[in-house]
Amino acid sequence: MCPDPESAGSLIWTEVKYLERERSGEDDRVVRITLTGSGKALQGKARGISGQVEACFGLAEEKRQQLHSLLNELLKSQRRFCMEKGKTDTEGKDL
């Protein structure tokens, strides 16, 4: 299943409210996007997740690197599949 970028964006903007948009007073074409209080709280929680995951699994460095590499391959494969099905991805970043 390919995520729909429009519906995901709508969820972030209107329902969860992690981000807010504000037009520039100098140039109406410029829109500033900033984190809301909820977004900042989530950002703080997210920073500690990787350490918690490592502690839970107790993987050695080599195994963590292998897992990271495999997850990136899976992500790239999913993106290729979605693009073939006509869905686009706005970010081509690795994990």
C-alpha neighbours within 13 Å on the C-beta side of residue 73? 6
> Please, are residues 79 and 92 in contact by the beta-carbon 8 Å criterion?
yes
C-alpha to C-alpha distance for 46 and 37, rounded to whole angstroms: 14
The dihedral built from the CA positions of residue 31, 35, 37 and 39, taken in this order, carries a sign that is positive
**Whole-number pLDDT of residue 2:** 53
Maximum Cα–Cα distance across the chain: 52
Per-residue pLDDT reduced to its tens digit, 10-66: 666 656 788 888 888 888 888 888 888 988 888 888 777 777 777 777 888 888 888
| Partners of residue 20 on adjacent β-strands | 34
